[in-house]
């Protein structure tokens, strides 16, 4: 294949999940299957270091989900950080690239005095987890550059490849998510589109999320020291090296084995286990581990559109979270760490039974059975 960012044909597969169901397609509970599976692999470009989806996969419709409160709060923190650093001024025009993750930032932009003109070019262009949905990364960045008015800023937010690799988050890879970024790589691709990275802010969301402000190179805006600090951290990690990113394959094999063993041990001990969060990351994990309703009785999710459906490639039903307290749950495995505090607050009766999935993926969580 050729790189979606720089066009090079030099690179290699660093993570291969085999055949996986579409993470956005939740079959009806009475649909017997079998569900269609598609190749799912990550390819790393040698010259620019862009980690990317190796093939197109199935047509993607974004999940009918309810975003965690943590993502919504992050939007406010991010826009506030950009404003406090002096990158926005009241009255500037703002436009947003749509994304299914984290909700819209436009209300926060308006609260800072920005105007919403409905079309570009604009002085503030917002892209939170949007760029990764573009199959042609170079073309997508060129469009963003054209929509940026002289003196304007592009605000980008994305989960870092360093956090994906460092935390073994192989299931961040999914159909429809075409790019996985380090600042090192993104800076190169932005430069090719005529843009310069000027300032960055790290946030803990998803284990490591980066907020970036970029401007047109011809505007010659100053570069904050935060950029070099982030680039040095990535150099220390050697994050554009295929061997480094390839550690995700080891994590995949280990975590799938651990999850299956942990849930099997619980079933054999007579414990009734449910899940929480029918998100794309849970889809790949459960499908790869071959988990069914004998091991995981259900997955609760706040999205009413998913109720009456099942997790792809399994017979596990998706239920209303309100049913969990009556489901005789000994444990509830929370598949997204961002949901843990929110679920505990919304369902206090379950608080002492919530188990982060990372507990099972790190060592199997067998101590919970003693």
Q: How confident is the model over 18-40, as pLDDT tens digits?
A: 999 998 889 999 999 999 999 99
Give yes or no for a contact between 316 and 298, defined as CB atoms under 8 angstroms apart: yes
Mean pLDDT of all residues in 217-225: 98
Q: Does pLDDT of 61 surpass 70?
A: no
Mean pLDDT of all residues in 78-103: 93
At residue 88 the predicted structure's pLDDT band, cuts being 50, 70 and 90, is very high
Give yes or no for a contact between 208 and 162, defined as CB atoms under 8 angstroms apart: yes
At residue 326 the predicted structure's pLDDT band, cuts being 50, 70 and 90, is confident
Q: Which residues pair with 158 in a beta bridge?
A: 210
pLDDT at 349 (0 to 100): 87
R_g of the chain computed on alpha carbons = 21
How far is C-alpha 269 from the chain's CA centre?
34
Give yes or no for a contact between 198 and 223, defined as CB atoms under 8 angstroms apart: yes
Mean pLDDT of all residues in 56-79: 76
Distant-in-sequence, close-in-space partners of 236: CB < 8 Å, separation ≥ 6: none
Domains of the chain: 62-245 (3.40.50.150), 261-369 (3.40.50.720)
At residue 368 the predicted structure's pLDDT band, cuts being 50, 70 and 90, is very low
Q: Does pLDDT of 367 surpass 80?
A: no
Backbone angles phi, psi at 43, to 5 degrees: -115, 135
């Amino acid at each position: 294949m050729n790189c979606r960012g720089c066009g090079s044909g030099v690179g290699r597969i660093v993570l291969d999940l085999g055949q996986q169901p579409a993470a956005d397609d939740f079959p009806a509970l009475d649909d017997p299957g079998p569900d269609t599976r598609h190749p799912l692999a990550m390819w790393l470009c040698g010259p620019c270091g862009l980690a990317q989806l190796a093939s197109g996969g199935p047509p993607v419709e974004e999940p009918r989900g309810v975003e965690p409160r943590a993502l919504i709060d992050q939007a406010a923190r991010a826009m506030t950080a950009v404003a406090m650093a002096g990158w926005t001024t009241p009255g500037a025009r703002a436009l947003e690239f749509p994304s299914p993750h984290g909700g819209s930032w436009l209300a926060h932009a308006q609260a800072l005095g920005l105007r919403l003109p409905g079309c570009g070019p604009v002085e503030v262009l917002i892209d939170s987890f949007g760029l990764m949905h573009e199959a042609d990364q170079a073309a997508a960045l060129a469009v963003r550059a054209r929509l940026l008015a002289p003196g304007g800023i592009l605000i980008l937010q994305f989960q870092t490849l360093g956090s994906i690799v460092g935390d073994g988050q192989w299931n961040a890879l999914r159909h429809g998510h075409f790019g996985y970024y380090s600042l090192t790589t993104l800076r190169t691709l932005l430069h090719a589109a005529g843009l310069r990275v000027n300032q960055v802010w790290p946030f803990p969301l998803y284990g490591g999320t980066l907020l970036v402000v970029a401007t047109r190179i011809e505007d010659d805006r100053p570069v904050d020291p935060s950029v070099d600090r982030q680039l040095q951290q990535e150099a220390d990690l050697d994050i554009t090296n295929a061997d480094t990113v390839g550690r995700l394959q080891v994590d995949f094999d280990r975590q799938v084995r651990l999850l299956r063993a942990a849930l099997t041990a619980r079933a054999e001990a007579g414990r009734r286990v449910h899940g929480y969060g029918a998100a794309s990351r849970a889809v790949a994990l459960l499908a790869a581990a071959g988990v069914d309703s004998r091991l995981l009785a259900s997955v609760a999710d706040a999205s009413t559109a998913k109720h009456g459906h099942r997790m792809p490639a399994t017979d596990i039903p998706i239920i209303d979270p309100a049913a969990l307290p009556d489901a005789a749950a000994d444990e509830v495995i929370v598949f997204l760490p961002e949901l843990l505090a929110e679920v505990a607050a919304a369902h206090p009766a379950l608080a002492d039974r919530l188990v982060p999935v990372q507990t099972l993926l790190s060592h199997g969580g067998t101590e919970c059975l003693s």
